[in-house]
Chain A
Amino acid sequence: MSSTEKPAFDAELVIDALSPALGLDIDPGLKAGVAVYLRVAERMARIVEAAPVPEDEAELAPVFRPGRSGEDA
């Protein structure tokens, strides 16, 4: 690996490291299956990271409207 290359994504390491903070106790029999989907998410993250989104311009998609839910504007 060169110094500029991104290290390989280690899904199982992420799961082990973050589970206590998330309060999740992943059954050892499930970890490999969870890691499969986390690796898919990481591939998706690489695609969105590469999207030519105008930096410092694009707004996030969700819109937040203050006011109590259930009351008409």
Chain B
Amino acid sequence: MIDPFAPAHVTAGHVRSGELAVIEVVEASLAHIEALNPALAAFTDVTAERARAAAREIDRKRKAGESLGPLAGVPFAAKNLFDIAGLPTRAGSKINRENAPASRDAALIERLTAAGGVLVGGLNMGEYAYDFTGENAHDGNCRNPHDLSRMSGGSSSGSGAATAAGMAPVSLGSDTNGSIRVPSSFCGLFGLKPTYGRLPRTRTFPFCDSLDHLGPLARNVRDLALAYDALQGHDAHDPVCAPRAVALTAPEIARGVEGLRIAIAGGYFDTGGMPEASAAVASAARALGARDIVDLHGALEARAAAFLITNAESSALHLDRLRTRAMDFDPDTRDRFLAGAFVPAVWQVRAQRVRRWFHDEMLKVFETFDVIIAPATPCSAPKTGERVLHFRGSDLPLRANIGVFTQPISCIGLPVVAAPTFGGELPIGVQLIAAPWREDLCLRAAHALEESGVSRVRAPTGLRS
């Protein structure tokens, strides 16, 4: 009996040693997906035959004595804005599923495959990634494995639900304003949003080029680091991808946080009146020995800048579809996309200047601190269909405000790991933020939290396959 919650690195070790045949791992994963997906709506496409063929090939290689990758035989799945050869890249939309099938996998799918991973399918997501809830009018609302009446979080909703439910120990998501970190928080996972420009976005459907990031989600930090390491490397097909050498993190994660200067984000990130977020930050701070509170001056303005850049750029991307097929959009994204068409250029340009300014302000903070702890979301997963977020004494539109704590960080491209805490009835995450290109520090802090017990991922109770 194969445990669907076995860590990916353990599975890969058993595959390499010959204790496990990849075809058995894949068949177990496919059976688990088939059993759970009707309740969760995490997968929109299951690539069963491709997965079986890949599994047989890895098993053949092992028998032939060929070397196998660090993720040998590990099932993984990708948000459906990643190209998957043979499938239309729907990007959560009704319109794009009419496109011709992709002829080649996204670069990051190719890299995980080269590391021995086995793609088992494409994952549900909020339409065109303009979403924090996991709700989707076309493919159904993705549900939270810890409580099926609640949101998975978005827009990498299927990534969060599938990995939390044991359907794929590693998944790929995208994060423009928080779309890896929000589902990681709600579903109780680790998610890494690397530095802007670290991972190539080649052959993925964009949302907002200025802010789009890709990254992995996993149930433990070693799996997260192994996946991230396999994903690294320059690709000139994405003009934003930085020509930097691969900086392996998996060998670094167990170094602990001794000597790291860790602070708690205050001011804009203050969690007063948010008991779950407050408890999450406090438990992470205690475990990491953080006492200093630092006011991240400019976060409010950066959040506003991210909102405007996203609204204007994404609307420009979709303008022709908005002209001709507005009624085919998900009603929950359509009005926002349409509004973005009316954003004056001067607002957007000002937002880009604010982005540079906040970036420079944050570099000063990183002269004093190595890692900053901030809340990932103001609350744990809301009920599906909830429209209102109670936030600092006001009732705000929930959909646009779940990412209030994640948006300023992605606005300036800082690397960040969302790490889960399990102090209450539902999981809720914290952000571990470092200076540009220091993903290693985020992962070390996350590993320390995992070792302390604060961030040890729990399998959802009540889910049966």
Minimal Cβ-Cβ distance residue in A for B413: A61
Q: A61-B352, A62-B210 are in contact. Are A73 and B239 (CB under 8 A)?
A: no
The residues in B between 290 and 318 inclusive whose CB is less than 8 angstroms from any CB of A are 298, 300-301, 304-305, 307-308, 311
The stretch of B53-61, B79-87, B121-129, B335-343 in contact with A is B335-343
Any chain B CB within 8 A of the CB of A1? no
Residues of B in contact (CB 8 Å), total 43
Are A18 and B342 in touch, CB under 8 angstroms? Answer: yes
Are A44 and B308 in touch, CB under 8 angstroms? Answer: yes
Are B210 and A61 in touch, CB under 8 angstroms? Answer: yes
Q: Distance (Å) between the CB of B342 and the closest chain A CB?
A: 5
Q: A51-B301, A54-B357 are in contact. Are A60 and B336 (CB under 8 A)?
A: no
Are A47 and B236 in touch, CB under 8 angstroms? Answer: no
> Residues of A contacting B336 with CB < 8 Å?
37
Contact check: which of A23, A35, A47 meets B300 at CB < 8 Å?
Answer: A47
Any chain A CB within 8 A of the CB of B464? no
> Residues of A contacting B356 with CB < 8 Å?
58-61
Contact check: which of A24, A54, A73 meets B341 at CB < 8 Å?
Answer: A24
Are B338 and A48 in touch, CB under 8 angstroms? Answer: no
> Residues of B contacting A5 with CB < 8 Å?
none
Are A48 and B339 in touch, CB under 8 angstroms? Answer: no
> Residues of B contacting A34 with CB < 8 Å?
335, 338-339, 342
Are A22 and B298 in touch, CB under 8 angstroms? Answer: no
> Residues of B contacting A26 with CB < 8 Å?
326, 338
For the complex, give the distance between the alpha carbons of A45 and B353 in Å.
12
> Residues of A contacting B340 with CB < 8 Å?
37, 41
For the complex, give the distance between the alpha carbons of A27 and B239 in Å.
37
Are B350 and A45 in touch, CB under 8 angstroms? Answer: yes
Contact check: which of B326, B339, B351, B412 meets A38 at CB < 8 Å?
Answer: B339
Q: A30-B335, A34-B339, A40-B400 are in contact. Are A48 and B354 (CB under 8 A)?
A: yes
Minimal Cβ-Cβ distance residue in B for A33: B335
> Residues of A contacting B239 with CB < 8 Å?
65, 69
Any chain B CB within 8 A of the CB of A7? no
Contact check: which of B243, B308, B334, B341 meets A30 at CB < 8 Å?
Answer: B334
Q: Distance (Å) between the CB of B386 and the closest chain A CB?
A: 18
Contact check: which of A23, A38, A43 meets B342 at CB < 8 Å?
Answer: A38
> Residues of B contacting A52 with CB < 8 Å?
357
Contact with B along A54-73 (1 / 0, CB 8 A): 10001111100100011111
Q: A30-B326, A36-B335, A41-B307 are in contact. Are A51 and B357 (CB under 8 A)?
A: yes
Are B243 and A60 in touch, CB under 8 angstroms? Answer: no
Are B341 and A53 in touch, CB under 8 angstroms? Answer: no
For the complex, give the distance between the alpha carbons of A58 and B170 in Å.
40
Minimal Cβ-Cβ distance residue in A for B322: A24
Contact with B along A7-49 (1 / 0, CB 8 A): 0000100110010001111110010011111101101110111
CB pairs A–B below 8 angstroms (18 shown):
A23-B323, A33-B335, A34-B339, A37-B311, A41-B340, A41-B343, A43-B304, A44-B351, A45-B347, A48-B347, A50-B301, A53-B350, A53-B357, A58-B356, A58-B357, A60-B356, A69-B236, A69-B237
In the A-B complex, the 6 residue pairs with the closest CB atoms: A37-B339, A47-B304, A44-B304, A33-B335, A61-B355, A51-B301
Q: Which A residues form the contact surface with B (CB < 8 A)?
A: 11, 14-15, 18, 22-27, 30, 33-38, 40-41, 43-45, 47-54, 58-62, 65, 69-73
Q: Which B residues form the contact surface with A (CB < 8 A)?
A: 210, 234, 236-237, 239, 243, 298, 300-301, 304-305, 307-308, 311, 319, 322-323, 326-327, 334-336, 338-344, 347, 349-357, 359-360, 400, 412
5 further contact pairs, Cβ within 8 A, besides A37-B336, A58-B353: A18-B341, A41-B308, A41-B342, A53-B354, A73-B236
